[in-house]
Amino acid sequence: MSGGTALTAARAVLGRDLLRAWRRRGEIVQPLVFFTITVYLFPLAIGPAHDTLRVLLPSIVWVAVLLSMTLTLPDVFAADHADGSLDHLALSPHPLALLVLMKAGAHWLTGAAPLLVLGGLLCAVFGLETYTLRALLLGLLLGSPVLSLIGTLASALTVGLRGGTLLLALLTLPMYIPVLIFGTSAARNAALGIPVQAEMYLLAGLSVLALTLTPWATAAALRARLG
């Protein structure tokens, strides 16, 4: 099997998932609506204390992104499982780890990237300082791939299970905690004028670790579920 053939198959999987997401644009809009409502509810609860809101806003955005991405995780393999194409992926001569990596990439492009853009716009509307906003967006950019990769692994473990959505959330949320801690810590430090390089390096390290390990674990989980 040539590397070019495997890359062609990977591009085909990525393109197929992106096209499917485009045809089901409503499924992309739903997490964005949930994210917007979640972020906007907190100012109503906090009241007119603008200084308090600016301090809490990065943490609010991180939690809203985490929950919104969790909502989309059941869709990573659901359609492929329903139409039988997941079995073809598992039986493909191409590396399954590479193919599931492309599916995680499609999930990030359709599930995380729009949230980053929307989160930046909402934070600008609420008057978040520029330096803090940059730290927040950079942290989300570095940390959100971990959310997609771990979520894809959990989705593979629960594909085809009844009540799998609740189990999926129970599996993913504890593993998201380190990303949440480092991401919110970076934004808080930026608001206080403290350097944030350490948190950014940690988020980048988590992304590299997840990128290295989770595709293989996801491939093994799919073979175990389908076997």
Helix (H, G, I), strand (E, B), or coil: what is residue 77? Answer: helix
Sign of the CA dihedral with 144 first, then 114, 221, and 172 last: positive
Higher per-residue pLDDT: 138 or 44: 138
Q: Residue 120's pLDDT is what?
A: 92
Residue with tokens 């076997």: 227
CA 156: distance to chain centroid?
Answer: 15
Question: Between 35 and 26, whose confidence is greater?
Answer: 35
Q: Answer yes or no: is pLDDT of 46 > 80.
A: no
Instruction: Identify the pLDDT of residue 4.
Output: 59
What integer pLDDT is reported at residue 1 of this predicted model?
45
Per-residue pLDDT tens over the stretch 52-85? 777 888 999 999 999 999 888 888 888 788 777 8
| pLDDT at residue 116 greater than cutoff 90 | yes
Read out DSSP for 172-185? Answer: HHHHHHHHHHHHHH
Average pLDDT across the chain, whole number = 87
